[in-house]
Amino acid sequence: MSPAPRRSEGAWPSLRVLIIIPAFNEAKNLGAVLTGLRGASPECDVCVVDDGSTDETAKVAAREGATVLRVPLNLGIGGAVQTGYLWAQRRGYDVAIQIDGDGQHDPRFIADVLAPIARGEADLVIGSRFLDAGGYRSTAIRRLGIRYLSWFIRARCGVRVTDPTSGFRATGRRAIELFARTYPDAYPEAEAIGLARRHGLGIVEVPVRMSERIHGASTINGWRSIQYFVMVSLALALWAPADGSGRGPSPDGEE
């Protein structure tokens, strides 16, 4: 595949769209994900961020025709996703769409998350599984945690997001610039919403359908999920509230 951005021939022919798939040891799931993507939106470029995998992740991705960004160390999900945003920024993509490499996200909804950006209505679109699209909705205990985070983000950042942990999202130019410069580290999805809000970006949600991952276990379970909610709350609480003044992160450009 040519690394130069192509123009989309889909619904918005003027947009150059990059799909970012962070992957750590996802060789088993990635093939199906990439095949599904090619079928659903062949006009988008796909880049897989191989976050220091020890399996065949990079090989599978290259075989399926994706651009592979091989991170030499395991940075964790935040660092991996940001690598994708850096690529999108350097290559001048108009839209970057983030999708999990484990097959949870249905690629047929790409057009849906893309639409508000293409229409200029938002900078960050979050695909939510709680807005009437059906499908898998996670376990009861995790739904409770998600409800809590949703409430917390609304109270702290003044934005209504029903599925703040969703990793299915689309970003426009302004959000790409921001995320290439600064992206949260350990548990980035919810924090990224706060970050975007703090920089005055427009955030909307659209309904998407999710399924359970095909192979392997999620990285967030049991005690880890409690740690997750505590850390995310802390991060959201400590950072400056939404004021849209664009008061940015440290001058290093890195949190």
Partner 1 sequence: MLPLRLEIFAIATLLCFMGWVAYLIRHRRLGLTETLPWLLSTLVALIVTLFPSALIWVARVLRFEVPSNALFVFAYLYVLWNVLVLTINFSTQTARLRRLAQECALLDAEVRALQRRIEPVK
Q: Which two tokens stand for residue 126?
A: 């979050």
Return the residue of 8, 82, 98, 165 that touches partner 1, per CB under 8 A. Answer: 82
Stretch that binds partner 1, among 21-29, 81-89, 128-136, 161-169 (CB under 8 A): 81-89
Q: Using CB under 8 A, which residues numbered 31 to 50 contact partner 1?
A: 49
H or E segment and range at residue 32: helix 27-40
Stretch that binds partner 1, among 33-41, 157-165, 238-246, 247-255 (CB under 8 A): 247-255
Q: Which two tokens stand for residue 160?
A: 């209504």
* Closer residue to partner 1 in complex, CB, 91/154: 91
Return the residue of 71, 111, 214, 220 that touches partner 1, per CB under 8 A. Answer: 71
Amino acid making up residue 158: G
Return the residue of 13, 14, 54, 90 that touches partner 1, per CB under 8 A. Answer: 90
**b/e sequence 86-117, b meaning 16+ C-beta within 10 Å:** bbbbebebbbbbbbbbbbbbbbebbebbbbbb
Q: How far apart are CA 168 and CA 111, in angstroms?
A: 12
* Interaction site with partner 1 (CB under 8 A): 2-3, 49, 67-73, 75, 79, 82-83, 86-87, 90, 185, 252, 254-255
